Structure 1
């Protein structure tokens, strides 16, 4: 298999994985519908940088070493699962708190401070980087498709492809969800989107933690 074929296969598999629902997808949907395009694109940038980090760690063998050591991978699972559960439970807490407050709530500002921009990027980066399922995916993807004999230029091209596809997809999703017409249509469903995404984060986080604990006890 030549390098061009490897890169095309890598791009195809990665793009299919990007389109599957998961915490990255839910994060973009939740925040783009709630805060608008700028926040959604910044989260997309954070997610794509997390994916780039996973790709580099996998290519250099660091992720494989973590995955091969049960104690280290257990820590990664606990950290990642706890973070996702935190996002979900915090979201649910916010939703229930809003229901208890008065019916008139302050309108969200469309102007984002530097702190808000940084938080959006950090939320995307951390959500992807701490997801242990992403670590496993990229270890499998790189070890299966990218041979050790691949040229430095080929590996660099692989990193560029993985990053650019990730940013393109999530930024496109953020843009589509934040168009004026769709924003108006989604306003009435915003609380249900928040609820669904928060439940997804909570379930995924708790599932990752329980799987890690059960595997450790049985192993």
Structure 2
């Protein structure tokens, strides 16, 4: 399978089969695959199939943490740290490889995973997925980090390089998407800090032919 992927890059069927195999992997191999596939993903940032594979690996880790009785299994703190590292790594790839949609789609998945399992954790309640680090699960810090990425990605130093414009659009639509999916109080905080009017003007300037879509997306922003 590894040889097939190496000889036929962006092979959807091979990656899809590999995703199917994740269900049958022992926990140690799941972690190994996450680490090993990182190098490939970093060199093939347009290959959405590889990021989909990493998505499946991370979901398997969450499933194992929820149901495993093995004391040697991955702990909640270790999974939270892995998620933080994945967010940081994808952020660095976004800044390095401008205008790659696969990276923004993977970040959306990571944000959903964070919000679903860690964002609403009560630090006074114990449980398999409860947050053990305010540095990782602090909602305000998460909002600030995403806004910093958004602001960095909406700077367009060269109007002739279309990838910068694509990056700005992906970044702006990501923030709109994120604000609608965060817990209400933090969604409101994100909307205020992102300055909805400024965001809408940016989208209309970059892609005026979709003004109706931008009106619809930012209507309650």
TM-score normalised per structure 1? 0.28
TM-score normalised per structure 2? 0.28
Question: If each structure's helix is expressed as a fraction of its own residues, which one has the higher value?
Answer: 1
